[in-house]
Structure 1
Amino acid sequence: MKKDKTNFFSQMFLILLIVISLVPIFLVLVNSFKGHVDIVKNPLSFPTSLSFDNYKIAWETGKFSKGFINSIKLTSITIIIVLICSSLAGYVLSSKRIKGAGAILTYFMMAMTVPIQIFLFPLYYVIASLDLIGVVPVVSVILAATSMPLAVFLMRTFFLAVPKELEEAAIIDGATTWQVIWHIMRPIVSPGMITVATIVGLQTWNEYLITSTFLQGEESFTATLGFLSMNGTYSSDQGILMAAAVIMIFPIVVFFIAVQKYFVDGMVSGAVKG
């Protein structure tokens, strides 16, 4: 009886958290079909008719057609860089295959505490001197560097959970280091790679400070920058801003729903050993 009561209250608490999380998103969706006057009059009411005028104006004004392409490009390149570098670093640091592994881990731990704002001015000076302002791959490298410490720690945790016997058996059979990493390690730590890719991807997609600093000009704007650029123009029309918010949220929701199973599996398997 006591266990059943505990499970009941736990489930009710989780349902409450779900409602608290989904109600704001639901209100944004409902109000995106309404005019500004209707929203101000009663933001909790349902629209009398489904009109997509707000979405058309938001799409054109926010320049989302170009912004989504830049966001996808920026996010994809950042994820690829982080996955390659963090996977190799995590493999090397998982069993202290090099001298000074402890010092390297300490360095990554300290790097996680340093705010990126400290490096913005020197980075901007160097990139501007090289005439690379507005180049999306360059910003991807910067974002990858900021995400690397956490990604390395996560990948190291996943590699630690791999039994050493598998690697030793492959080496005895004559496998090279690259063959061990690609054919033995990669399939096992793939949930961890998906977890890292999800975390880095969401952070990159929503990033504002670095992208607004180095991606200047509407041609290089991401979807996030396009959305935020609407605040001054349509700050008095909440319906259009709500529609733009839905356009921004929709790809993230779809992406997370698609990878949630692998994301949860990766988080659970990564918690086995640290």
Structure 2
Amino acid sequence: MAVTSKKKRVASNFIIHAVLLILVFICLFPIALVVINSFKENADIVRNPLALSQVIHLENYIQAWETGKFAKGFINSVKLSGCTILIILVCSTLAGYVLSGKRIKGSGGILMYFMMAMTVPIQLFLFPLYYVYARFNLIGNIPATSMILAAVYMPLSVFLMRTFFLNVPRDLEEAARIDGANTAQVIWHVMRPVVSPGLITVGVLVGLQSWNEYLISSTFLQGEKNFTATLGFLAMNGSYGSNMSILMASAVILIAPIVIFFLCAQKYFVDGMVSGAVKG
């Protein structure tokens, strides 16, 4: 009986690992194909995109960097993502703290409002937003555009931060209040260290989404000097649509910072998601 149970467990583990390996292959194969073709000439890609290159053409990356104007694009992307993350972390932390303990009247209605806001598409507000931004001469203003992105990602961020604040024992806050701490001191010195995994999780999510964002940035960041790295890459499709080697190199340049950033923050991101899933 024990032998049969052991065989079933081995067979089950084998099937699970086989499925996982297949999924890993499906996910990584397109990325590997892009990296391989980024070092090849366009004629070699057309002839056989699956073959390895006999000669490594690093000039593809040089031309892609200069043509896509990634030096300026990465700076704009960092500005846009950084401003968005800063606004989100400040506002969602304060809102999550207030809504976690029903510290104000009507907190249930506010939560319902945020829940409904997550279902409303931003496309409904593009025209009035563009009209207002044009009137105030804010088209091409990166910090102003980050406010729109922050508003889009705010509902989910508030729900996540509220969940993390719900996991904080109420005794910590009460002890700080007894010692004479005010609300700002409670949030910064008592709550912030405890909910730091939540701050990292929200920051990673918002950072990745704002870095890859296209619709809002293409609408409000007009002019090449205001292009993010994503917009610079997409602008190359018209001029270099037939030169796949340059586009492949540009794609690697675009996704490399995202992959490196996520790999560095992966541990904190997973820890934050796990600790935030305890209580809702």
Normalised TM-score (structure 2) = 0.96
Aligned pairs (5 A) from 1:65-214: 65-214=71-220
User: Residue 261 of structure 1: which of 261, 264, 267 is its match?
Assistant: 267
2:224 paired with 1:238? no
CA distance in 1, matches of 2:51, 2:205: 35
2:38 paired with 1:13? no
Extract unaligned runs of 5+ from structure 2. Answer: 1-5
Distance 1:228 1:99, change over 3 A: same
**Which SS does the other structure have where 1:229 is aligned?**
helix
Aligned to 2:50: 44
Distance 1:160 1:30, change over 3 A: same
Aligned to 2:255: 249
State the 1:250 CA deviation.
0.3
The range that moved more, 10-19 or 222-231, is 10-19
CA distance in 2, matches of 1:11, 1:199: 28
**Which SS does the other structure have where 2:237 is aligned?**
coil
State the 1:176 CA deviation.
1.3
CA distance in 1, matches of 2:186, 2:196: 14
Compare CA radii of gyration and give the structure with the larger one: 2
State the 1:4 CA deviation.
4.0
Extract unaligned runs of 5+ from structure 1. Answer: none
User: Residue 271 of structure 1: which of 245, 262, 277 is its match?
Assistant: 277
Q: Is the 8 A contact 2:39 2:56 kept in 1?
A: yes
CA distance in 1, matches of 2:79, 2:126: 22
Aligned to 2:3: none
CA distance in 2, matches of 1:81, 1:196: 11
Distance 1:124 1:169, change over 3 A: same
State the 1:8 CA deviation.
3.3
CA distance in 1, matches of 2:125, 2:62: 39
State the 1:168 CA deviation.
1.2
Amino acid at match of 2:182: T
CA distance in 1, matches of 2:101, 2:273: 21
2:26 paired with 1:33? no
State the 1:49 CA deviation.
1.3
Aligned to 1:61: 67
